[in-house]
Amino acid sequence: MNAPAFGRPLPVDSLLHRRDPTVKLLVVLVVCLAITAVVDPITPTALYLLTWPVALLAARIPAATLLRAHVPFVAFAFSLLLVNATTREGATIARVLGLDITAEGVTIGAGLAMRTLLIGIVSVTFVLTTDGARLMTSMHQHLHLSGRFAYAVLAGYRLLEQLPQTWQTIRAAQAVRDPRRREQARRESGTRGPSARPRALAQAAFTLLVTSLRRGERMSIALETRGLGAGRRTIAAPSDLRAGDAVLAVVALGTLTLVLGISWHLGVLRGLGELGVFG
């Protein structure tokens, strides 16, 4: 399956793809804000494990795609674990490269790391199941987002969506114009590619910047010409709220509340006070 373009969901039909984008966005914000106040490792781990079946089954996101999307979040989570394990005071459980690893640091670091992974998988699931145009339409319709802002964001989505193809075109043009590359291709009869020299990359980046600025200028003129922001506008493809959207919100927020309640009842729930930043 090909990766989706910027601002476009995976090209599949799933339960989460059909849900209203505004409802999904509000659920994601509530989940992320609630888990931000939690620092113990058990609570976010439980929620993280529950999110995987949702992403795989309800969103039909391939496991390989989810794993690739985890890479930046795993790197950041590991850094949180490492920093907290080596800098927080507590009972020393190990000594690595002259640094004391404390039990308190490992516990808090693991909590922050799992919180990062949870926010990451929730965010990735939202992005891969939500069309950018439908999101802006839904927010304009249900949250009364300014039409001028919504159309401008949609234009930005489309501009960013074209960047990869524009970059490939610029690099292909460089490969054709580079005489050394043509000579090398004749000698080796292999695949000709663009130069990877820093100067060539800098030239391509500058060309991409100029091309994007000109394209954005033309886009803004086109929007103004069509009366962007000039009074109330109709919606071509409205995103109506359905019973399934209410079910999604109730199930997601109910599960969050249930997990937090069980964690609190078992005595494992720990809040921001454990970080020692509030006195």
pTM of the model: 0.76
Token pair 């820093």 is found at 198
Per-residue pLDDT of the chain (279 residues; tens, 9 = 90+): 555 555 568 888 899 999 999 999 999 999 999 999 888 899 999 999 999 999 999 999 999 999 999 999 999 999 998 888 888 777 777 777 777 778 888 888 999 999 999 999 999 999 999 888 888 888 888 888 777 777 777 777 777 777 888 888 888 887 777 666 555 555 544 555 666 778 888 888 888 888 888 888 887 777 777 666 556 666 667 777 889 999 999 999 999 999 999 999 998 888 766 655 443
CA distance 39 to 30: 17
Question: Measuring CA to CA, which residue among 121, 131, 138 is closest to residue 14?
Answer: 131
Residue ranges per structural domain of the chain: 21-130+242-275, 158-225
CA distance 140 to 146: 6
CA distance 239 to 198: 47
- Half-sphere exposure (CA, 13 Å, Cβ side) for 195? 19
